[in-house]
C-alpha cells in the first residue's frame, strides 16, 4: 500500500543550526510553512523540524535531538560528496563502504549533523 516517504520529523536543538548544516552540506532547501515552521526539502521529500521543548502535537512519544539514523541517496559521485564534506569541515566517521540499500547494493559515507544524528549518504551501484 505505501509507495514512498513524504516527510519525517527531526527533533533538533537549534532549527537555525540545522537549517544551516543541511542547506550548506547537503544542498537541501529550507522552506517555511504553516505559521513559520521550518522544513528541509529535497527531491519529493522533506524533514519537518521541531525544536526541543517546542515540538508540535501530535509528536513522537519521546522526541530527542540526536536520535535519528538515516540514509540519503545521491546521484552525485561519492568521491565528489567526500570532497565536498571535507571542504565543509565535516568529519566522515566511516566510508566509503559497501552496504545494502532498499533496492540493491549501495556505497556509503557516514557522518554526523550538529545534533549527533547519524547521516548516511549513498549512491546505488549503477551511479557509483
Question: Does the active-site annotation cover 94?
Answer: no
Of 113, 118, 120, which Cα lies nearest the Cα of 12?
Answer: 113
The alpha-carbon radius of gyration of the chain (Å, integer) is 15
* Given 29, 55, 94, 120, the catalytic residue: 120
- Note whether 33 and 43 are within 8 A (CB): no
Phi/psi at 39 (5° precision):
-145, 160
Q: Is the peptide bond before 58 cis (omega within 30 degrees of 0)?
A: yes
Residue 123: burial class (beta carbons within 10 Å; 0-12, 13-18, 19+):
buried
Query: What cell numbers appear for 64 in the block?
Result: 530527542
Task: Show which residues are catalytic.
Answer: 120
Amino acid at each position: 500500500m505505501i509507495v514512498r516517504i513524504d516527510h519525517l520529523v527531526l527533533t533538533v536543538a537549534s532549527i537555525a543550526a540545522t537549517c544551516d548544516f543541511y542547506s550548506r552540506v547537503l544542498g537541501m532547501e529550507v522552506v517555511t510553512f504553516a505559521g513559520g515552521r521550518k522544513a528541509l526539502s529535497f527531491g519529493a521529500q522533506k524533514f519537518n523540524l521541531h525544536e526541543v521543548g517546542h515540538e508540535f502535537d501530535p509528536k513522537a512519544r519521546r522526541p530527542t535531538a540526536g536520535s535519528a539514523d538515516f540514509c540519503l541517496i545521491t546521484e552525485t559521485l561519492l568521491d565528489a560528496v567526500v570532497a565536498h564534506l571535507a571542504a565543509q569541515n565535516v568529519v566522515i566517521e566511516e566510508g566509503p563502504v559497501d552496504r545494502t540499500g532498499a533496492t540493491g547494493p549501495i556505497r556509503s559515507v557516514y557522518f554526523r549533523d550538529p545534533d549527533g544524528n547519524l547521516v548516511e549518504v549513498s549512491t546505488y551501484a549503477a551511479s557509483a
